[in-house]
Structure 1
Amino acid sequence: MTAAPVAAAPKSTPKVADNAILAPVDGAIKPISEVPDETFASKILGDGFAVVPTSGLVTAPVSGKITTVADAKHAVGITTPSGVEVLVHIGVDTVQLHGAPFTMHVAQGQAVNAGDPLVDVDWAAIKAAGKPTDVIVVFTNPALIDNLSITATGAVATGAQVGTMTTK
Structure 2
Amino acid sequence: MRKAIFLACVLTLLLGQTIQAPASEPNDWTQFLSDPRFMPAIKNCLAAHPKAEGPAVVMNVWHASLEDAGVMTTDLSGRRNSCFARKDTGVVSESRTVFDLPGPLFVSVDQAKVAPKGECIESTPVYIDQRLQGWILRQPVLNQHIPSACSTPIWTDLLPANQTRPSA
TM-score (normalizing by structure 2): 0.24
**Which is strand-richer, 1 or 2?**
1
Tell me: higher relative CO, structure 1 or 2? Use CA pairs within 8 A at least 6 residues apart.
1
